[in-house]
Structure 1
Amino acid sequence: MNLKIIKMKTHILTAAFAFSLTAAFAQQPAKNKYQQYLPIIEKGTLVQKDSLANALMGELKTYKSEEDYRTTINVLRSLGKEDLQVSAETLAKKKYPKGSLTRDAFITDVYYNASTPVQKEKAYNELLKKWPVKNFSEEPLTYDYVLANLAQSFANDGNAQKAVHYLGEMKERFWRGNGYIPVGQILLSAGDTTTAAPLLKTAMDDSYYYLTLPEDQKDNKARFAAMGYASSMSAYVNILVAQKKYAEALNYIENALKAAPEQADGLAMVYYKSLMGTGRKLEAYNILTKLYAKGQFAVENDLKKLYTELNGSIQGYENFNASLKTELTQNIRNHIKEMATFKPAPNFELLNLKGEKVSLASLKGKVVVLDFWATWCQPCVRSFPGMKAAQESYANDKDVQFLFMNTWERDKNYKENVVSFITKNNYPFEVLYDDQKDPQTGEVMAAKFGVKGIPAKFIIDKEGNIRYFLTGSTPNVDYIKLEMKELIEAAKKPYKG
Structure 2
Amino acid sequence: MRKTIPVLLGAVLAAGIQTATAQKKPAADTLAKHYQALLKGSDADKAILTNELYALLKTKKEENWITAANNFYQLKKADVADSVQVAAEKRFPGGIVARGKALQVVYDEKDAVKKEELFQVWIRKYPPKKFGSERIIYDYARNAVGTAYTDAGNIPKALEYANSIESPFWKGQGWAGTAERLMKQGHYAEAKVLLKKAVDDAAAFRTTRKDEFGAKFAATGYPGYLSSYVACLFQEKQYDSALVYIKLAEKAEDPVRASVIEMYAKILLNKGDYAAAYEKLSGIAARGLLNPTTKGQLEEAFGKVRGGNFQSYLDSLKGHMNTAIEEEMAKQIINIPAPGFTLKDVDGNTVSLADFKGKTIVLDFWATWCGPCKASFPSMKKAMEKYKDDPNVKFLFVHTWEKEENATANAKKYITQNNYPFQVLMDLKDPKTGENKVVSSYEVKGIPTKFVIDRNGNIRFRFTGFTAGEDAAVGEVAAMINLANK
TM-score (norm 1): 0.83
Asked if the contact 1:344/1:465 (under 8 Å) is kept, the reply is yes
* Aligned partner of 2:371 among 373, 378, 397: 378
User: Which of these residues, 172, 183, 186, is aligned with residue 181 of structure 2?
Assistant: 186
Which residue in the other structure is 2:286 paired with?
A: 293
With over 3 angstroms needed to count, the CA separation of the structure-2 counterparts of 1:394 and 1:146, relative to structure 1, is: farther
Q: Determine the structure 2 residue equivalent to 1:86.
A: 82
Partner of 1:3: none
Are residue 208 (structure 1) and residue 213 (structure 2) matched?
A: no
1:305 aligns with 2:303: no
Q: CA deviation at 1:249?
A: 1.0
Q: Give the unaligned 5+ runs of structure 2.
A: 1-25
Q: 2:71 aligns with which of 75, 91, 109?
A: 75
Secondary structure in structure 2 of the residue aligned to 1:401: strand
Aligned counterparts of 1:250 and 1:304: Cα–Cα separation in 2 = 21
Q: SS of 1:62's equivalent?
A: coil
Alignment of 1:472 onto 2:465? yes
**Aligned 8 A contact 2:73 2:434 in 1:** no
Residue pair 1:436, 1:445 contacting (<8 A) in 2 also: no
Is the 1:53–1:81 Cα contact (8 Å) retained in structure 2? no
- Aligned in 2, Cα 1:330/1:177: closer, same or farther, shift over 3 Å? farther
CA distance in 2, matches of 1:339, 1:220: 36
> 1:158 and 2:156 equivalent?
no
Give the deviation of 1:483 after TM superposition.
1.6
TM-superposition CA deviations, 1:82-138 (whole Å, max 9, x none): 221112112322332222222112223x12222322332222112211111223343
Does residue 1:176 correspond to 2:171, yes or no? yes
Change (3 A) 1:479 1:138: farther
Q: Distance in 2 between matches of 1:190 and 1:440?
A: 44
- Tell which structure's C-alpha radius of gyration is larger: 1
Question: 1:273-292 to 2 correspondence within 5 Å?
Answer: 273-292=266-285
Aligned to 1:346: 339
In structure 2, what residue type is equivalent to 1:174? F
Matched position secondary structure for 1:175: helix
1:36 paired residue number = 34
| Aligned-partner Cα distance in 1 for 2:470–2:148 | 30
1:473 counterpart SS class? coil
Partner of 1:481: 474
**Residue matched to 2:15:** none
- Out of 453, 457, 462, the position equivalent to 2:450 is 457
Shift of 1:32: 4.0
Pairs within 5 Å for 1:401-420: 401-420=394-413
Match in the other structure for 2:308: 314
Question: How many Å separate the matches in 1 of 2:86 and 2:432?
Answer: 27
Distance 1:197 1:164 in 2: 12
Q: Tell me if the contact between 1:53 and 1:76 (Cα under 8 Å) persists in the aligned partners.
A: no
Q: Secondary structure at the match of 1:170?
A: coil
Percent sequence identity is 34
Tell me, which stretches of 5 or more residues in structure 1 are unaligned? 1-27
SS, match of residue 261 in structure 2? helix
Bigger relative contact order (CA 8 A; separation at least 6): 2
User: What amino acid maps onto 2:97 in structure 1?
Assistant: L
Cα distance, 1:260–1:368 mapped onto 2, change above 3 Å: closer
Cα separation, partners in 2 of 1:436 and 1:462, compared to 1, 3 Å:
farther
Deviation at 1:266, TM superposition (A): 4.9
Corresponding residue for residue 369 of structure 1: 362
Cα displacement (A) at 1:66: 2.4
- How many Å apart are 1:270 and its aligned residue? 1.7
The code of the aligned residue for 1:65 comes to: K
Is the contact between residue 289 and residue 472 of structure 2 (CA under 8 Å) also seen in structure 1? yes
Aligned residues of 1:151 and 1:179 also touching (Cα < 8 A)? no
**Structure 2 match to 1:106:** 102
Q: 1:127 to 1:440 in 2, by over 3 A?
A: closer
How far is the alpha carbon of 1:412 from its aligned partner? 4.3
Match in the other structure for 2:422: 429
Normalising by structure 2, what TM-score?
Answer: 0.84
Q: Aligned-pair RMSD on alpha carbons?
A: 3.0
**How far off is 1:358 after superposition?**
0.6
